[in-house]
């Protein structure tokens, strides 16, 4: 996978939907990436057809995964996964080098309906408490890297901030936004999903300038953190973070405001340079061979339990593709006498 920081792109040519745009603001020692997602995101969410609140959460997780995964100089897979105790108890998103993405969510319909009825639908309320794990997997014979942070009733933006503060010690600001669009098409209305995201990171030459206030203890008085931040943080980072925080959700998802326009609105006084974009696409990595490989390791018991009406049927949770197999073709298949 190549990351295009070597040459600047035409700043005025919009990369369009589903393209990650890397950028730097040299004066502020800031670099980042921005994206607006359209067709690739809509394809994934429309296929799953989850309730709207679940789709929104998964869309945020997809944008966050793309922003983080596209920065890694690896050949492999970056996975973001939440495991929590809320109505939406699992989100899984994969980003593979080259830009292929896939995602799914798991939720409890009754608990979700109860949460909607009581108006408790903020991202943190639907997720509940648990963990968010980010895994980098570069394939067989390489070590996996995994970072895990607690998720305690926060938005995914907040969890990302915690992760970068605790695990990477890089001052980071993330914005994520999701929108449902209704467009006129063939005389009717067509519903589609859009999303946008921005990550800004402070990476000065001198490590000393990256200092951040310690997280306040449990008994810190209200407002203590704000005071610390003003006192301790580098002026350039305070400025960059404040600028990034001014973007509205509607701007981040507006098809009429390409990310290049957005970046110029934010940073043009300081001079922003954009680089070649990285396209992402809706593409699963499942295959008949991979599923068969898993089934080949099943015991006779597992093969028997997986067989229904003489067939083993496996459906990919990411893309919904169904694979059917004859159980007799696997080593673990029960013999005729066992079946009796
Ligand atoms: Zn699949």
Task: Find, among 103, 80, 67, 76, the residue nearest to 244 by Cα.
Answer: 67
| Range from 54-63, 171-180, 218-227, 315-324 carrying the lowest mean pLDDT | 218-227
Q: Please, what sign has the CA dihedral across residues 299, 300, 301, 306?
A: positive
- Cα(141) to ligand 1 centroid in Å equals 24
**22, 35, 229 from 67: Cα distances, Å:** 9, 8, 25
d(C-alpha 32, C-alpha 243), whole Å:
13
Ligand 1 centre distance from Cα of residue 102 (Å)? 8
The number of residues in the chain equals: 340
Share of the chain above pLDDT 90, in %: 70
How far is the centre of ligand 1, averaged over its atoms, from the C-alpha of 285 (Å)? 6
Cα 321 to ligand 1 centroid, rounded to whole Å: 6
Q: Distance from the CA of 50 to the center of ligand 1, in angstroms?
A: 17
Contacts of 56 (CB under 8 A, 6+ apart): 123, 178
Residue 312, SS3?
strand
Q: How far is the CA of 104 from the centre of ligand 1 (A)?
A: 10
d(CA 132, CA 304): 35
pTM of the entire structure?
0.88
Ligand 1 center–CA 319 separation, angstroms = 4
**Ligand 1 centroid to 45 CA: how many Å?**
14
Compute, in angstroms, the gap from residue 286 CA to the centroid of ligand 1. 4
Separation of CA 69 and ligand 1 centre (Å): 19
CA 39 – ligand 1 centroid, Å? 18
Q: What is the pLDDT at residue 98?
A: 92
CA of 88 to the centre of ligand 1 (A): 21
Rounded distance from Cα 288 to ligand 1 centre (Å): 10
Q: 65 near 30, Cβ under 8 Å?
A: no
What average pLDDT does this structure show over 294-303?
90
Q: What is the DSSP letter of 334?
A: P
229-278: pLDDT as tens digits: 445 789 999 999 999 999 999 999 999 999 999 999 999 899 999 999 99
Measure 183 CA to ligand 1 centroid, in angstroms.
Answer: 29
Of 111-125, 177-191, 280-294, least confident by mean pLDDT is 177-191
Q: What H or E segment, with its residue span, contains residue 120?
A: none
At 1 the pLDDT is 32
Instruction: Specify the pLDDT at position 338.
Output: 54
Q: Please state, as a whole number, how many other Cβ atoms lie within 10 Å of the Cβ of residue 67.
A: 22
Q: Which of 140, 305, 319 is nearest to 327 (CA)?
A: 305
Query: What distance in Å separates the CA atoms of residue 301 and residue 191, rounded to the nearest whole number?
Result: 45
Whether the pLDDT of residue 212 is over 80: the answer is no
Kindly give the distance from the C-alpha atom of residue 316 to the centroid of ligand 1, in angstroms, as a whole number. 5
Distance of CA 78 from the midpoint of ligand 1 (Å): 16
Beta bridge partners of residue 190, listed in sequence order: 183
Say how many Å lie between the CA of residue 322 and the centre of ligand 1. Answer: 9
User: How far is residue 339's CA from residue 46's CA, in Å, rounded to a whole number?
Assistant: 41
Rounded distance from Cα 53 to ligand 1 centre (Å): 23
The yes-or-no verdict on residue 79 having pLDDT over 90 is yes
- For residues 101 and 296, which has the higher predicted lDDT (pLDDT)? 101
Question: Which of 37-46, 153-162, 224-233, 237-246 has the lowest average pLDDT?
Answer: 224-233
- Other beta carbons within 10 angstroms of residue 272's beta carbon come to 21
Could you tell me the distance, in angstroms and rounded to a whole number, from the CA of residue 17 to the centre of ligand 1? 23
Q: Give me ligand 1 centre to Cα 251, in Å.
A: 33
**293 Cα: distance to centroid of ligand 1 (angstroms):** 15
Give the Å distance between the CA of 103 and the centre of ligand 1: 9
Distance from residue 16's CA to the centre of ligand 1 (Å): 26
């Amino acid at each position: 996978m190549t990351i295009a920081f070597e040459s600047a792109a035409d700043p005025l040519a919009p990369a369009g939907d589903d393209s990650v745009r890397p950028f730097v603001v040299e004066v502020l020692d800031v670099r980042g990436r921005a994206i607006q997602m359209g067709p690739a995101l809509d394809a994934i969410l429309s296929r799953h057809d989850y309730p709207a609140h679940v789709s929104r959460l998964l869309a945020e997780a997809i944008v966050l995964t793309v922003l983080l995964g596209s920065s890694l100089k690896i050949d492999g897979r970056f996975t973001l996964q939440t495991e929590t105790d809320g109505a939406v108890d699992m989100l899984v998103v994969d980003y593979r080098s080259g830009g292929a993405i896939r995602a799914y969510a798991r939720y409890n319909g009754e608990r979700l309906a109860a949460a909607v009825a009581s108006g408790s639908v903020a991202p943190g309320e639907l997720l509940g408490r648990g963990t968010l794990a980010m895994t980098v997997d570069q394939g067989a014979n390489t070590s996996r890297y995994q970072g895990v942070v607690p998720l305690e009733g926060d938005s995914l933006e907040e969890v990302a901030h915690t992760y970068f503060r605790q695990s990477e010690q890089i001052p980071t600001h993330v914005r994520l936004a999701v929108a449902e669009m209704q467009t006129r098409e063939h005389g009717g209305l067509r519903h589609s999903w859009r999303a946008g995201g921005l990550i800004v990171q402070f990476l000065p030459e001198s490590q000393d300038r990256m200092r951040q206030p310690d997280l306040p203890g449990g008994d810190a008085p209200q407002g203590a953190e704000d005071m610390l931040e003003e006192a301790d943080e580098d002026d350039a980072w305070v400025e960059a973070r404040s600028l990034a925080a001014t973007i509205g959700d509607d701007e981040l998802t507006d098809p009429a405001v390409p990310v290049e326009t957005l970046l110029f609105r934010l940073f043009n006084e300081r001079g922003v340079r954009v680089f070649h974009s990285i396209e992402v696409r809706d593409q699963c990595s499942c295959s008949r061979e991979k599923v068969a490989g898993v089934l080949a390791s099943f015991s006779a018991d597992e093969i028997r339990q997986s067989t229904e009406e003489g067939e083993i049927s496996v459906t990919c949770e990411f893309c919904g593709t169904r694979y059917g197999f004859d159980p007799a073709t696997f080593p673990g298949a029960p013999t005729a006498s066992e079946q009796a």
